[in-house]
Amino acid sequence: MVSIDLAYSALVEGKSQRTPGAHDAPLFELRRCPTARELQDPAADTEWSYFQDRFRRSLANRLSLSPKLARGIAAALGEMVDNVVQHAGLGDTPKALVAYEVNTQSFSMSVADTGRGILSSLRENPTNRTVTSDSAALTAAVLLGASRRTDAPGSGFLELRQALADLQGLFCFRTGSARLQLDGRGSGERVETISNSPELVGFQMSVTATPGFTHSPPL
């Protein structure tokens, strides 16, 4: 319930949880997604920069990841957030949340928005006119690199998958009435599963990973 209360305050009231010290390495942190201006100019919101750096510190200190890997994962979270601002159709100040959790065995990170969803976004590009369902939109965007942009293919999801490919990760993407899961735990392969989801607005994606785990962790 504490997490739900924090999410409500951040999303509806624009409030964030009490900010940890700038150089802490917390177990859990949640806040609203930054605005487009805050993403483009770190000086416009130093708290967003501190948020990313605390995530990096948590990965290095709590999970004992190498500095390079910790920086890469923190940067991947930034790419997930940028995806919301660029494609959710919510303007420069999107109603969206970003959170992470790090313990001594695993980490999770998630971004959720209340925007138009992937299907509506992709349909801005005439080349995606054959994409007519939420499940097809997820497959096209996450696995095939489809984008609403006409000048360049989408690469954000592909880069995210590549960056986290060897970390025993479980990727979940949800939009509209569809859910896509990429499971790389234990097998060394990414097992793709598309399924139905309760109809919800927006788009949500999450990653849970257990670096160094050689067998499939318990569900």
Are 90 and 163 within one domain? no
- The reported pLDDT for the residue numbered 8 is 60
- The string of pLDDT tens digits covering residues 121-176 is 898 888 888 999 999 999 998 888 888 876 655 556 766 666 666 677 888 999 99
The verdict on residue 111 lying in a domain is: no
Are 4 and 98 within one domain? yes
Are 146 and 186 within one domain? yes
Q: What range does the domain containing 139 cover?
A: 116-212
Please say whether the beta carbons of 177 and 196 come within 8 A: yes
Are 4 and 48 within one domain? yes
The verdict on residue 218 lying in a domain is: no
Residue 66 φ/ψ, nearest 5 degrees: -65, 155
- The reported pLDDT for the residue numbered 192 is 83
Q: Considering only the C-alpha atoms of the chain, give the largest distance between any 2 of them, rounded to a whole number of Å.
A: 49
Coil, helix or strand at residue 151: coil
The verdict on residue 217 lying in a domain is: no
The verdict on residue 206 lying in a domain is: yes
Residue with tokens 């969803």: 117
- The reported pLDDT for the residue numbered 219 is 42
Number of domains comprising the chain: 2
The stretches in the chain having pLDDT less than 70 are 1-5, 8, 10-19, 150-156, 158-166, 185-189, 212-219
Please say whether the beta carbons of 78 and 156 come within 8 A: no
Are 101 and 11 within one domain? yes
pTM for this prediction: 0.83
Are 167 and 193 within one domain? yes
The verdict on residue 129 lying in a domain is: yes
- The reported pLDDT for the residue numbered 18 is 56
Choose one of 73, 105, 137: the last residue of a domain: 105
What is the distance, to the nearest Å, from the Cα of residue 128 to the centroid of all Cα atoms in its chain? 23
- The reported pLDDT for the residue numbered 94 is 81
Are 14 and 101 within one domain? yes
